[in-house]
């Protein structure tokens, strides 16, 4: 008889546990749904902020922006040359240095430059290489989305102004080639 009573007391306890488990599952689904809704709201707000910021980018000066992102205090004065495939721009600084900016890593840019020199033949060997003649004197730095939230939008606008395909750029490499007078 005591076994029957103890068994009958376990049945309501088991039913209560099952009921709690079902309610916890329902609450977990509700919380997950709320988290998804909040993520969507945050993405919508971010998209609106980025769209508003994109409207204000028309006033961006490409040479000043590239100088600021390069991490140097160079005063960039002119564009020497540029290429869209592979994508790079070669800039002259006031102190005689050059700054090459590209979304290509050093290894990929050197490979692309080697291919370009092969295509030009003797004429290519007469001109100064894009990354200079002494690769050990090149100072390479990067700027990316890790550094600034608006980097990709600004890079796309600078690329548009310089006729370069930098629409989906998340990182740019800056190659500083010191001039003969630059130290």
Structure confidence by residue, pLDDT tens digits, 119-137: 554 454 456 788 888 878 8
- What span, in angstroms and rounded, lies between the C-alpha atoms of 83 and 31? 51
pLDDT in tens, the chain (183 residues): 778 777 778 888 889 999 999 999 999 999 999 999 999 999 999 889 888 888 888 889 999 999 999 988 899 999 999 998 889 999 999 999 999 999 999 889 888 877 655 555 445 445 678 888 887 889 999 999 998 889 999 999 999 999 999 988 999 999 999 876 544
* Residue 182 located in a structural domain: no
Do 91 and 98 contact (CB within 8 A), yes or no? yes
Residues 125 and 70 in one domain: yes
pTM of the full structure: 0.72
Tell me, what's the pLDDT at 130?
86
Tell me, what's the pLDDT at 113?
77
Q: How many domains does the chain have?
A: 2
Sequence-ordered list of residues with C-beta below 8 angstroms from that of 102, at least 6 positions apart, any chain: 86, 87, 88, 89, 109, 172, 173, 175
Residues 19 and 86 in one domain: no
Tell me, what's the pLDDT at 182?
42
| Structural tokens at position 48 | 């609106």
CA distances to 49, 84, 89, 101 from 161, in Å: 22, 13, 12, 14
Residues 28 and 86 in one domain: no
* Residue 170 located in a structural domain: yes
Domain that residue 149 falls in: 61-177
Run of H or E including 121: none
Residues 91 and 108 in one domain: yes
Residues 54 and 66 in one domain: no
Residues 71 and 159 in one domain: yes
Tell me, what's the pLDDT at 116?
59
Tell me, what's the pLDDT at 100?
95
Q: Which of 58, 74, 100 is the last residue of a domain?
A: 58
Tell me, what's the pLDDT at 75?
94
Residues 40 and 110 in one domain: no
Residues 97 and 132 in one domain: yes
Residues 66 and 14 in one domain: no
């Amino acid at each position: 008889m005591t076994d029957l009573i103890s068994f009958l007391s376990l049945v309501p306890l088991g039913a209560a546990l099952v009921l709690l488990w079902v309610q916890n599952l329902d609450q977990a689904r509700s919380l997950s749904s709320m988290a998804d809704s909040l993520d969507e709201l945050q993405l919508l707000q971010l998209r609106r902020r980025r769209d508003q910021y994109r409207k204000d980018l028309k006033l961006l000066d490409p040479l000043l922006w590239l100088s600021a992102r390069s991490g140097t205090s160079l005063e960039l004065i002119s564009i020497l040359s540029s290429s869209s495939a592979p994508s790079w721009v070669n800039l002259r600084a006031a102190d005689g240095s050059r700054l090459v900016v590209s979304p290509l890593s050093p290894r990929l840019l050197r490979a692309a430059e080697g291919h370009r020199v092969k295509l030009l033949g003797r004429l290519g060997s007469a001109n100064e290489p894009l990354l200079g003649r002494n690769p050990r004197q090149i100072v390479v730095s990067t700027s990316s989305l890790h550094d600034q939230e608006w980097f990709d939008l600004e890079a796309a606008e600078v690329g548009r102004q310089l006729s370069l395909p930098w629409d989906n750029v998340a990182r740019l490499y800056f190659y500083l080639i010191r001039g003969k007078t630059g130290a």
